[in-house]
Amino acid sequence: MVKFLSFIFFIFIIICLTLSIVIFIVYRCLKWHIPKNSLLDKYILLTMTSLKPDFLSANEKYAETFKDGDLLAPPSKKIAVLSCMDARISINDILGLKLGDAHVIRNAGGIATDDAIRSLIISHELLGTEEFIVINHTDCGMLKFKDEELQKKISEKFNINASSLKFYCFPNLEENVREQIKKIKLSPFFPNVPIHGYVYNVKTGKLNNVV
């Protein structure tokens, strides 16, 4: 009898696992074809709670042991970093920083766009940062296409004229770092702020000093 019940339980577990896998595969396949925020999309998200993104459960765990609620807004190391948004880069890890130590401003290519400069002004004027660091990295996606190519692709895909969209792609990493530092220095807002420039090697984890 015990053997029979064990067998039934085993079969039950196998069926459950198989069903979960099938539902997961169907969900992942359908997901790309269901219009976002459509009724079907909402229904699937509502009914398949076990497939909600892992980050929510990760956040619950994070919040359980969170002890940094008393940190002040001004960065304690008085540093602001402008970096590429590449997923292989963790600025805090690279520079040995902790939560609350620095501002990190990120965009594709670590470009000193008007918006990045806006953030640097706020960082410097209102939150007391006194030193800037610009970081680019090896194998950057911005080295691999030209603005005109992406403008053309977007224009065709969305049937619009995207020729005025600037993506700031660049052919040389070190030159790009120098260019961004030059842009920041040419703005009138940071006359006495030291700015350092580095290229981060995604294969070795090392920073190479540029400026």
Total residues at the site for Zn ion (CB under 5 A)?
3
169 binds Zn ion (CB under 5 A): no
Q: How would you list the strands of the sheet with 195-200, edge to edge?
A: 102-107, 79-84, 131-137, 195-200, 207-209
d(CA 211, CA 207): 12
Q: Which residue number, 130 or 179, has a Cβ lying nearer to Zn ion?
A: 179
199 binds Zn ion (CB under 5 A): no
140 binds Zn ion (CB under 5 A): yes
Closest approach of Zn ion to the CB of residue 17, in Å: 40
Q: Using CB under 5 A, which residues numbered 110 to 129 contact Zn ion?
A: none
Binding mask 56-95 for Zn ion (x = CB under 5 A): ----------------------------x-x---------
Closest approach of Zn ion to the CB of residue 183, in Å: 17
Q: Which residue number, 110 or 124, has a Cβ lying nearer to Zn ion?
A: 110
Residues that bind Zn ion (CB under 5 A): 84, 86, 140
